[in-house]
Amino acid sequence: MACQVCGEKSGFFPICKSCNAKKDKGEVSKCVDCGIWKKGDKPRCYDCFLKDKNSNKKQAPDYKKTELEAEEHDFRTKFPAAYLTEDGHMVRSKAEQIIDNWLYHKGIVHAYERKVPIEEEVYCDFFIPLGTKVWIEFWGLEEEQYLKRKEIKKNFYKKYEKNLIELTDKDIERLDDVMPIKLRPFLPSTFSFD
């Protein structure tokens, strides 16, 4: 497994020996909301800080949902998380189950349906915090409304310069070939897929 903070090998532990020593000095801590290890001693990671900040705004009586926020809610209602992965995540499709299980078996720390740290309320399919942070989207439908949502989300990733890996049904068929190639630029150089 790779360290959640620096990406070095950590055996079966979420952080390596070096980061564990930094933890004792207060230089590394765990986010109180999501539980991911991070640099610094603030109680929340940046993503959870933004999420909390935005949720306060959304509780205001004059807040109006954006079109994408309404579509995200409708999508979650239409496609409930009904597939259990080997690491305990409940996902919305068989393809997402395959992706999640692949990440789990390769020892890649990941989160499912995590809020992207931007102003808008956008959730990714998968988030990988180690190395250079990367967000993964599986585009599994061809419906007009879904394709519109896809383009809006892609524009947000581009606008906020977030690292995005896009997967399709064809990629799922060859996941062992595709994922290492797409992930390699974002993972620490010491990471091995073996």
Query: What does the pLDDT average to over 57-79?
Result: 64
Considering the domain architecture, whether residues 73 and 141 belong to the same structural domain is answered as yes
Quote the pLDDT of residue 180.
Answer: 95
Cβ atoms of 71 and 149 within 8 Å: the answer is: yes
* Alpha carbon distance 59, 55 (integer Å): 6
- The number of folded domains in the chain is 2
CB atoms within 10 A of CB 29: 18
Under DSSP, the state recorded for 35 is: -
What is each CA distance from 51 to 34, 47, 178, in whole angstroms? Answer: 11, 6, 32
Q: Domain check: are 27 and 114 in the same one?
A: no
Contact 56, 48 (CB under 8 A): no
75 with 42, same domain: the answer is no
Q: pLDDT tens digits for 111-148?
A: 999 888 887 778 899 999 887 899 999 998 888 888 88
**110 and 186 housed in the same domain:** yes
User: For residue 145, what pLDDT is reported?
Assistant: 83
pTM exceeding 0.85: no
| pLDDT tens-digit series, residues 7-52 | 788 887 888 889 889 988 888 888 887 777 888 888 888 777 776 6
Q: Where is the domain boundary, 19, 42, 64?
A: 64
Host domain of residue 25? 1-64
- Given a cut of 90, whether residue 110 has pLDDT beyond it is yes
Tell me, what CATH number does 193's domain have? 3.40.960.10
Q: State the average pLDDT for the chain.
A: 85
The Cα 167–Cα 85 span in angstroms is 18
Confidence at residue 127, expressed as pLDDT on a 0 to 100 scale: 95
Q: How far apart are CA 118 and CA 144, in angstroms?
A: 25
CA distances from 50 to 41, 44, 60, 130, 144 (A): 17, 9, 16, 19, 31
d(CA 118, CA 160): 7
